[in-house]
Structure 1
Amino acid sequence: MPVRVLVVDQQPLFSRGLELLLPAVSDDRVHVVASTDLAGSAAVLARRHQPDLALVDLGLGPPGGVRAIAAIRRVEPRLPVVAMTVDGDEEQLALDALRAGARGLLIKAQEPEELLPPLLAAADGWAVLPPSMLARLSGTGRAACRTPRLTGDEQRLWRFIARGASTAQIAQSMHVSERTVKRLTAGLLRRLGVSTRTEAATLAGRAGLLDG
């Protein structure tokens, strides 16, 4: 099934570029169905067009990208929302976006081809965060990170989750069904003491799981 995307970005040319390029680089799997440069219009468009994924620029004018994310989540609580920023060092803004309900964060400097895998992963229900930001978002550092003893397969699954792999990709790599991946993921989240994939990804950064 094609993935239908809502783009909320302060630069109309960026939105138009995604509209033209995403179908081309995704073999027609991803389409922009609506776009706006107004934060206040985000929730209205989300309700009207019922997209599969919303991309929201954190640099939007008032009321801002974080409030736009919160508004989308209020009217469409099941809609995955991914925040976008041009500056990967804006840690507080990124944290505010995650608290408002964003499923992850993308750096806008990436090429359309590089944006495609995390977009598809987010639409599939996975957290997406730049690996370089995971450790910084953890706040307290690796020394304060305590994780349970995990099996080799659990470690592999955790690493896949932290890197934003889709359910299908994990199933193929681990030679199991997608249903099994979902069951194993639920068990891993319980073992880690977290409730979302985003929290598991952040914890992986604190534990140094993505080093090397």
Structure 2
Amino acid sequence: MTTVLIVDDEPLIRRGLRAVVDAEDDLEVIGEATDGTEVVPFARRHRPDVVLMDVRMPRIDGIRATELLLAAFDEPPRVLVVTTFENDEYVYDALRAGASGFLLKRAGPEQVVEAIRVVARGESLLFPAAIRSMAGNHIGTPRVRRWSLTEREEEVLRLVAQGASNLEIAETLFITVETVKTHVSNVLAKLGVRDRLQAVIEAYETGFIATR
């Protein structure tokens, strides 16, 4: 059973998400919060697997709440940002802070539950075009790269940024899925990031991959 905390200051949004999540046999809402101030205390008591996090809240927004949550645990819950606007600057900042993906509030029930299952498995929810667009809007002068990848690891990172799965990467590079997993793990370690989404953001912000 995947347990979920819903964080949103709008009661209608919370009720709608709860109805969608609780309709699934493998998902369960174990609590709701109306502001980012409530997230870490709740997570300490109940240890949700996934947090559905609104980004715009009155006291502590979803960006700061994500930062606090990730800093509070060695193995924090996965954070899935819930937003009204796809290219919201708050969304990008939340992703940079460590969220595993984002979900539009207008998303259908099937998209919501699939997104929760994806991040609960430890995977990132990548929307390549949206991430590239948001990164392009936030990057001035690219940061200096302080990591060194092999040629094959660079190929893998570029394919990850395109949204390719491990199987798709394996088929493209004519290698095994297990080898892809090893390369991805090496990339994450060298970049000092926790998941594929953070690796993609790092690749854009250092200029390794162009946003235009």
Alignment of 1:177-188 (within 5 A): 182-188=181-187
Contact 1:118 1:164 in 2 (8 A): no
One-letter amino acid of the counterpart of residue 163, structure 2: R
Q: Is the 8 A contact 1:128 1:162 kept in 2?
A: no
Aligned equivalent of 1:199: 198
Match of 1:126 in 2: 123
- What is the match of residue 82 of structure 2? 84
What SS is found at the alignment partner of 2:191?
coil
Give the partner amino acid of 2:10. Q
Contact 1:162 1:200 (8 Å CA) reproduced: no
Q: Residue in 2 aligned with 1:9?
A: 8
Give 1:132 shift: 3.0
CA contact (8 A) 1:127 1:161 kept: no
Aligned-partner SS, 2:95: helix
Shift of 1:73: 2.1
Q: CA deviation at 1:174?
A: 5.6
Aligned-partner residue type, residue 64 of structure 1? D
Note if contact 2:52-2:82 (Cα within 8 Å) is conserved in structure 1: yes
Q: Does structure 1 residue 44 correspond to structure 2 residue 46?
A: no
Aligned partners of 1:55 and 1:82: how far apart in 2?
5
Kept after mapping to 1: 8 A contact 2:135/2:204: no
Report Cα offsets for 1:37-70 as digits up to 9, x if no partner. 1221111111111111111100111122222222
SS state at 1:67 partner: helix
Deviation at 1:185, TM superposition (A): 1.9
Match of 1:163 in 2: 163
Structure 2 regions of 5+ residues with no counterpart?
none
Count of aligned pairs: 197
Question: CA 1:86–1:63 in 2, change beyond 3 Å: closer, same or farther?
Answer: same
Alpha carbons 2:156, 2:183 under 8 Å: kept: no
Output the amino acid matched with 2:16.
G
User: Please, which of 55, 60, 77 is the counterpart of residue 58 of structure 1?
Assistant: 55
1:19 aligns with 2:18: yes
The TM-score with structure 2 as length reference comes to 0.71
Name the CA distance, whole Å, in 2 between partners of 1:83 and 1:10.
14
How far the C-alpha of 1:158 sits from its partner, in A, is: 5.9
Bigger mean CA deviation after superposition, 102-111 or 53-62:
102-111
Structure 1, gaps ≥5 residues long: none
Residues 28 and 98 of structure 1: CA distance in aligned 2, closer, same or farther (over 3 Å): same
Q: Is the 8 A contact 1:128 1:198 kept in 2?
A: yes
**Identical positions, percent:** 27
Deviations 1:119-175 (A, max 9, x none): 22212222224333211315559xx9x997855x9857864675386xxxx469969
Distance 2:164 2:73 in 1: 23
